[in-house]
Amino acid sequence: MPELEWRWTAREDLRVIFEYISDDNPAAALALLEEIEVKVGHLPEQPQAYRVGRMIGTREMVVRPNYLVIYRETPDLISILRVLHAAQMWP
């Protein structure tokens, strides 16, 4: 089973999303953060379960209709590259 790695950019994306949502609704921000972390935690079990990404070599997990987790997978490692709102430009 591959190892799971969060890149700095993905952790920073999570922080920004959490702060933005928690300004209006701290409970909703925490629930989204937990949902993302739980779903990402299952990636090593089925890393190819999500759609091929728009950038070569990536995949995109839709967490909710407006949130995407961008990751790259190899047999030994799953790297979480970004966590984005669907309205953000990607790539």
User: What are the tens digits of pLDDT across the range 4-34?
Assistant: 999 999 999 999 999 999 999 999 999 999 9
**3-state class (DSSP) for residue 53:** coil
Q: Please tell me the predicted confidence (pLDDT) of residue 75.
A: 93
Residues 37-86: pLDDT tens digits? 999 999 999 999 999 999 999 999 999 889 999 999 999 999 999 999 98
CB 58 within 8 A of CB 70: yes
The matching CATH number, chosen from 3.90.76.10, 3.30.2310.20, 1.10.565.10, 3.40.50.800, for 3-85 is: 3.30.2310.20
Stated pTM of the model: 0.92
Single out the residue of 87, 85, 91, 89 nearest to residue 72, CA to CA.
91
Contacts of range 58-65, beta carbons closer than 8 Å, 24 or more positions apart? 63/32, 63/35, 63/36, 63/39, 64/32, 64/35
Single out the residue of 91, 59, 56 nearest to residue 78, CA to CA.
59
Domain ranges of the chain: 3-85
Q: Please tell me the predicted confidence (pLDDT) of residue 65.
A: 86
